[in-house]
Structure 1
Amino acid sequence: MAIRNVIIEKFETAAAGAVILSAGNTRVLCTASLSTDLPGWLASKEPPSGWISAEYNMLPGSTSPRKKRGTDGRSTEIQRLIGRSLRAMVELTAIPGVSIICDCEVLQADGGTRTAAISGASVALMLALGRALEEGKLPVNATDRIPIQLVSAISAGVVKGKCVVDLDYEKDSSADVDLNAVQNQRKEWIELQGTGERAGFTKAQLDEILDLCDAALEQIRDRQLDFLRNHLSTESSRMLIGS
């Protein structure tokens, strides 16, 4: 089982954390910005909590033909998926009063943009929290380990009767079954979205797809962790990823 080459690059910007994640020819810029501007319904919640949300867009030139600028129904659905996945990363009461917005901009699209955005935004969020720790902006003790888990995501499906993982545009456009999988560091499934686009699928096929996703996500997670170990301070690395 082979997945496309995953490359994570740090991107210098005004945001607290920013990376470009490439999966084959798909490239997504993911940034994480911190503020104290919480949703109104959360401001008086007890115990105090933080919040994480996401926005997703595709640059007009990321596809051919050119995509019209602006958020459509597909983008809204995807950014909700990204937001849910990122909120599953961290116990929100551990970041009271902190709002994190992750922006995902697709620079080049060749399938799997939403899953690349989740994996990249997870890393950007970790970088942002690491910076906040170094600047004393998180209410934690020096001995604390923040209750947080990286999340990773991958696409999969059934193409011409064969279960496959990490679909590029060509495979995705001809898939009979399409599935997106999100998993945390404990290998717990955070979200599974599966659709029979042109045909149904059996439990045996679903089990095979999940096994493929499990192995692929371990590879992606290894790349995420290697990147974070090289870009977080020793103390932030200990508090966020435990090493």
Structure 2
Amino acid sequence: MSLPIREGRDLLTPRPLFVERSVNPHAQGSAHLKMGRTEILATVSLEDRFAPHMRGKKEGWLTAEYAMLPRATSDRQPRERNLQNGRRHEIQRLMGRALRSCVDLRHFRGQTVYVDCDVLVADGGTRVASILAGYAALHDFSDRLILSGRLAEWPLTQAVGAISVGLVGTELRVDLDYAEDKVARADLNVVATETGQLIEVQGGAEGAPISVGEYMQLVELGVSAVQSLMTDFQRQL
């Protein structure tokens, strides 16, 4: 089997990453992110209502929603109107856990922070790109709250990023595009902080199992790649 060829990058280099903040004039925070050919639009909304399970708590809540537009892929996909879509729910839960880890929700008692991510163009890595776009939109949201005087203290507690890593043949690769993801023996989505602390790992082997050593290599590679990625990413914010 011939392995997918990377365009202008080595096996351990992520795709070019570009982010622009404040792209939606109506949202309280927003960002447009490009990661290679994958594009995400993220918005943040703050509403004066809260989840029932947060009653009596001293903090607010953050929830995330994810959707893929009909022509985000090479074939038109129907709009995801089915609320029971398993893949979408899995991605939303991952995004929510990742983004809640970086927000001090005590600033939003009795309120809910909504992070909405829409995939404009998909070429692999849409869930990790959505986490990055969501973090960028939260950064924009936080700036606006501070500048408007609605908050006196910065609500983000740490910088959070994510990256995909995989085994393609015998090769360890960082930030898989769609062609690589299709043939990977294993692929993981690694969520971590800029200081190298692990938040979550999602994924596993495709078909035949991999060794514990290979799995740990992928995790360590992912954490290191997130740290490297966040250096440039933070500069763009």
TM tier, smaller: 0.7 to 0.9
Alpha-carbon shift at residue 147 of structure 1 (Å): 5.6
Q: Please state if 1:206 is matched with 2:218.
A: no
Taking a change above 3 Å as real, the CA distance of residues 43 and 224 of structure 1, as seen in their structure-2 partners, is farther
Q: Please state if 1:28 is matched with 2:40.
A: yes
Q: State the distance in 2 between where 1:86 and 1:156 align.
A: 20
Confirm or deny: 8 A CA contact 2:31 2:140 kept in the other structure: no
Where do 5+ consecutive residues of structure 2 fail to align? 1-11
Aligned to 1:49: 59
Confirm or deny: 8 A CA contact 2:193 2:227 kept in the other structure: no
Aligned to 2:201: 192
Q: Please state if 1:175 is matched with 2:188.
A: no
Aligned length: 222
Confirm or deny: 8 A CA contact 1:165 1:209 kept in the other structure: no
1:4-43 pair list within 5 angstroms:
4-10=15-21, 11-43=23-55
Q: Please state if 1:135 is matched with 2:165.
A: no
Q: Among 158, 162, 169, which residue is 1:153 paired with? A: 162
Aligned to 1:76: 89
Q: State the distance in 1 between where 2:123 and 2:138 align.
A: 24
Extract structure 1 runs of 4+ deviating beyond 6 A. none
Aligned to 2:5: none
Aligned to 2:8: none
Alpha-carbon shift at residue 181 of structure 1 (Å): 0.3
Where do 5+ consecutive residues of structure 1 fail to align? 229-243
**Residue type of the alignment partner of 1:100:** V
Q: State the distance in 1 between where 2:155 and 2:53 align.
A: 24
**Residue type of the alignment partner of 1:124:** A
Question: TM-score scaled by structure 2?
Answer: 0.88
Alpha-carbon shift at residue 146 of structure 1 (Å): 4.0
Identity fraction in percent:
37
Q: Please state if 1:2 is matched with 2:2.
A: no
Confirm or deny: 8 A CA contact 2:139 2:156 kept in the other structure: no
Q: State the distance in 1 between where 2:142 and 2:48 align.
A: 14
Q: State the distance in 2 between where 1:96 and 1:224 align.
A: 30
Q: State the distance in 2 between where 1:211 and 1:19 align.
A: 28
Confirm or deny: 8 A CA contact 1:34 1:128 kept in the other structure: no
Taking a change above 3 Å as real, the CA distance of residues 7 and 147 of structure 1, as seen in their structure-2 partners, is closer
Question: TM-score scaled by structure 1?
Answer: 0.85
Q: State the distance in 1 between where 2:25 and 2:138 align.
A: 14
Confirm or deny: 8 A CA contact 2:187 2:203 kept in the other structure: yes
Q: Among 160, 170, 174, which residue is 1:165 paired with? A: 174
Q: Superposition RMSD on alpha carbons, in Å?
A: 1.6
Aligned to 2:125: 112
Confirm or deny: 8 A CA contact 1:51 1:98 kept in the other structure: yes
Q: Please state if 1:61 is matched with 2:71.
A: yes
Aligned to 2:108: 95
Alpha-carbon shift at residue 134 of structure 1 (Å): 1.9
